[in-house]
Amino acid sequence: MKKPVIALLGIGLMGRPMALNLLKADYPLMVWNRTHSKAQALEAHGATATKEQVDACAQADIIISILENGPVVEQVLFHPDVLRHCRPGTLIIDMSSIPPEQAKQHAQKAQEHNLHYLDAPVSGGTLGAEHATLSIMAGGNKAQFERALPIFQALGNTATYIGPAGCGQLAKCANQTIVGITIGAVSEALLLAEQGGADPSAVRQALLGGFASSRILELHGQRMLERNFEPGATARVQLKDLRTILDTARNERLILPLTQKVYDEYLSLINSGYENVDHSGLLLQLERLNDCQMGAVEQPETTRETT
């Protein structure tokens, strides 16, 4: 069966590896990015780059957007001039992280133009995008989720239908709540261990075998130990997601004190000039707060047996 033509809007840290995985799965792919050279670079892999997003959308059966935030999605994809050039029945899959209420509005706009819509944000970072192991959380019509499932399977190892439009973004809010708070917890735990005289690397290894084990401790804990803060997901984007979570909670008349505290710490980190470090770089804010640096404590020598 002939595969649908896909238009992918956004060739960034996540979009580029996702595009490569779609090409590996033999999908005809149109690509667009504000910086056209990033889209052009994918032509060597079999994609067709367009200078205008309208040109990509007009030729597509399925449009995927993976953009930085809601306002960018609104400007790039949900502008009336773009929507009216899409063919009736086209499925829009927004894999960006945007507010749930905005996703509901986008679903309504799509319907008004005889288009279908899924909000399908992802978790797994650039590593998950590269290895096609993303976790995908989808909201919208169940039949359209089934339509998109082969594409999701080319991009990730888990795709879950959450519920109506906006529910995928609610799941992403839940994800980022856990991610942000856990990064803060791992930062505090490793710094506490080291400042008390323990080897933080050994502490991390021990914790991975118990109830404190998590993907954050495994991957971001190692980043902290190596002081490798090259961005997979930036602190700036993590702050944006935490703001979305708090705004959504306020709309539901909820108070989320842990999320608020982590938001405040990320805000301080970014105000100190670290907006483009990896979100595991929250450790840097904790170090600044305590006037110390992990790795600066001399560890006690390990007693060696002699034979």
d(CA 31, CA 53): 8
Residue 48 pairs in a beta bridge with: 30
What would the two tokens of residue 230 be?
């090259």
**100-112 vs 167-195: helix axis angle to the nearest 10?**
150
| Packing angle of the helix pair 167-195, 235-251 (nearest 10 deg) | 120
Strands 62-65 and 91-94: parallel
Contact assessment for residue 44 and residue 34, using Cβ atoms and an 8 Å cutoff: no
> What distance in Å separates the CA atoms of residue 266 and residue 274, rounded to the nearest whole number?
9
List, by residue number, the catalytic residues.
172
Taking the C-alpha atoms of residue 93 and residue 87, their distance in angstroms, rounded to an integer, is 15
